[in-house]
Amino acid sequence: IICNCDHTTPFAVLLISSVHWQILSYISYIGCGLSAFFTHVSLSGALFLLNTTFLLTEWGATLDLDWVCVFVAAFMHYSLLCCFTWMAIEALHLYLVLIKVFNTYYKHYLLKLSLAGWIPGIIVGVSLGLKNFKQFYGPTQMTMADTNQTNPCWITDDSFFYSLNLVYFTLTFIFNSGILMAVASSICKMKQVYKSNSRLRPDAKGKSWSDSQRFSLSCRNGLTLLGLTCLMGTTWGLAFLGSGYVNYPILYLFCILNSAQ
């Protein structure tokens, strides 16, 4: 099949088969449900809001009350932007405690971070305030490749969706990826120093470090980086690899990693 198009709207979602859509939905519901259960504050709180509102998106579209679907869509958008913001804040905090280290005291530090983390409410509030000019939230039509359409509550305007969400996440992704590479480099340097010292200095029992102990340390460092990758939301970058065409492995990875973040 060859598709010709004179604008940049991707139609990948229209080509997903209903079977894969249903499986991806179940993965998302289970992952979001588990994530919501284990969340509490800050980034976790934003993820809790995102996961719980995501679980309501298709239900909200089935109600006759239009404002319910608009509220669910707007609240999920707010939660998503807050998640991206808190991911960037987590990266900034890691930079201060692991890279900069010295002269990192800031007055009312946590209060300032908290205000910044929830500030996307202004963006969503302004978007809702323009409803008489343009309705940005409500039921959206998504037609599968081999079945009827589904209508989840989400952003109804493609230009608004891509111009805001894509730019917002791209900036967050670039910033967090840079911090992650800096942290990874710092961990590798510490590992080299630790490795050199372990050769020269025996442990408490008078024995030198064995290969298994060094391997265990490497595994812990690897798991630390993996955890930081999830913490800073770099797994959301899989969205860039799945845009423009249907790539089922990428879609499944995106669903599993990010719904269970």
Give the lowest-confidence range in 25-34, 37-46, 223-232.
Answer: 37-46
pLDDT for res 5: 67
pLDDT average, residue stretch 199-211: 59
**Is the per-residue pLDDT at 9 higher than 60?**
no
The region, left, alpha or beta by phi > 0 then psi within -120 to 50, assigned to residue 101 is left
**Is the per-residue pLDDT at 185 higher than 50?**
yes
**Is the per-residue pLDDT at 207 higher than 70?**
no
**Is the per-residue pLDDT at 57 higher than 60?**
yes
Question: Which range scores top for mean pLDDT: 119-123, 128-132, 236-240, 246-250?
Answer: 119-123
**Is the per-residue pLDDT at 257 higher than 80?**
yes
**Is the per-residue pLDDT at 212 higher than 70?**
yes
Q: What are the pLDDT digits (tens) for 133-178?
A: 888 999 887 777 666 667 889 999 888 988 899 899 999 999 999 9
pLDDT for res 13: 47
What count of other Cβ atoms lies within 10 Å of the Cβ of residue 249? 10
pLDDT for res 201: 59
Which pLDDT band, with edges at 50, 70 and 90, does 125 fall under?
very high
Q: Which has the higher per-residue pLDDT, 90 or 104?
A: 90
Cα–Cα–Cα angle for 208, 211, 217, nearest 5°? Answer: 95
CATH architecture for residues 23-141+151-198+216-260 = Up-down Bundle (1.20)
Q: Tell me the β-bridge partners of 150.
A: 142
**Is the per-residue pLDDT at 245 higher than 60?**
yes
Annotated domain spans of the chain: 23-141+151-198+216-260
What percent of the chain shows pLDDT beyond 90?
24
Which pLDDT band, with edges at 50, 70 and 90, does 88 fall under?
very high
**Is the per-residue pLDDT at 206 higher than 60?**
no
Token couple for 257: 């990693």
Which pLDDT band, with edges at 50, 70 and 90, does 100 fall under?
confident
pLDDT for res 89: 92
pLDDT average, residue stretch 95-100: 84
Which pLDDT band, with edges at 50, 70 and 90, does 12 fall under?
very low
Average pLDDT of the chain is 82
